[in-house]
Amino acid sequence: MLLRAVVTVLVVAHLCSCSGVFFQPKRTWVRTPTDIGLRYEDVRIKAADGSTLSAWFLPAPQKANATLLFLHGNAENISTHIAAVHWLPPRGFNVLLLDYRGYGASEGQPTVAGAQQDIDSAMRYLLARRDIDPSRIIVLAQSLGGALGLHYVAHSAYREQIRGVIIDSAFIGYRDIAREKLQRSWLTWLFAVPLSLTVTEDFRPIDAAPKIAPIPLLLIHGDRDVVVPVHHSEWLYDAAQQPKEVWIVPGAGHIQSLGQAEVRERLVAWLQVQLAK
């Protein structure tokens, strides 16, 4: 039993000291938008360091109300995370789904710093397109993508083009969530603090939250989320400045809120309000 505990701690220490604990990419696609009846463009975007990134652009059938840059969570790739946004083009919104480096057909290996470059490259790609309104861009981000998106928007050179930020099921910091996870197991709780210290404090989402304003910020979180507990969004809300909202969705687990029809309708209404300003 002692040997098992030691091995577990060593494995966790290794994970905490590298990107593997936060990035779990899948290379192969399980579906394309065509499989679910959506038009799309399979696009390639050059990152600042020369890496080629993969993304899907889903156009609205008619003139779009806005364009959403979608940042997915830590596992798999855009072919599975499309489930969160496939309903938006029929509601009048373009969507760009980005795979960070190392995910899907994107080159490279994922890191937090590299993902920041990737998001910036996707934003520049959108702004260069002639078929969208560059003044009507919304960032929609889930889980790890929410953590990445908060830091990106807070420090982006293109803040004036961003009309709203929607963050679903994000955590307050990389070290914070690693410590919480370690404290959940009797095998690792004693080492939670020293092991979590190996995780970077750079790009901390809760430090970015107050800097989102005056861009409207919407935080969404399911009250049954056991992956990232709901208090993370509550703390992000407390740290943020107005204008801000937080929706705690009853019965929803991790990144499950947008699967509910009533939440989708409420989100479309929120988007319309922001775009009317």
The full DSSP string for 25-41 is E--S-S--GGGGT---E
Does 79 fall in a domain? Answer: yes
Average pLDDT of every residue of the chain = 89
Does 105 fall in a domain? Answer: yes
Does 250 fall in a domain? Answer: yes
What's residue 116's pLDDT? 97
Q: Which domain holds residue 107?
A: 29-178+201-276
What CATH number did the domain enclosing 122 receive?
3.40.50.1820
How far separated are the first and last CA of the chain, in Å rounded? 61
Identity of the residue numbered 249: V
CB-count burial class (<10 Å; 0-12, 13-18, 19+) for 264: middle
CB-count burial class (<10 Å; 0-12, 13-18, 19+) for 268: middle
3-state secondary structure labels for all residues of 174-218: HHHHHHHHHHCCCCCHHHHHHHHCCCCCCCCHHHHHHHCCCCCEE
What's residue 180's pLDDT? 75
Would you say residue 150 has pLDDT above 70? yes
Does 102 fall in a domain? Answer: yes
d(CA 48, CA 195): 32
165 neighbors 240 (Cβ within 8 angstroms): no
Does 15 fall in a domain? Answer: no
What's residue 213's pLDDT? 98
Would you say residue 62 has pLDDT above 50? yes
DSSP string computed for 248-273: EETT--TT-GGGSHHHHHHHHHHHHH
What SS3 class is residue 230? coil
Would you say residue 35 has pLDDT above 90? yes
Does 21 fall in a domain? Answer: no
87 neighbors 259 (Cβ within 8 angstroms): no
Q: What is the domain count for the chain?
A: 1
pLDDT tens string 79-126: 999 999 999 999 999 999 999 999 999 999 999 999 999 999 999 999
Confidence (pTM): 0.90
Mean pLDDT across the stretch 172-192?
Answer: 66
Does 56 fall in a domain? Answer: yes
Q: What are phi and psi of 74, to 5 degrees?
A: -80, -20
What's residue 178's pLDDT? 73
Would you say residue 2 has pLDDT above 90? no
What's residue 32's pLDDT? 97
d(CA 238, CA 257): 21
Confidence grade of residue 153 (pLDDT, cut at 50, 70, 90): very high
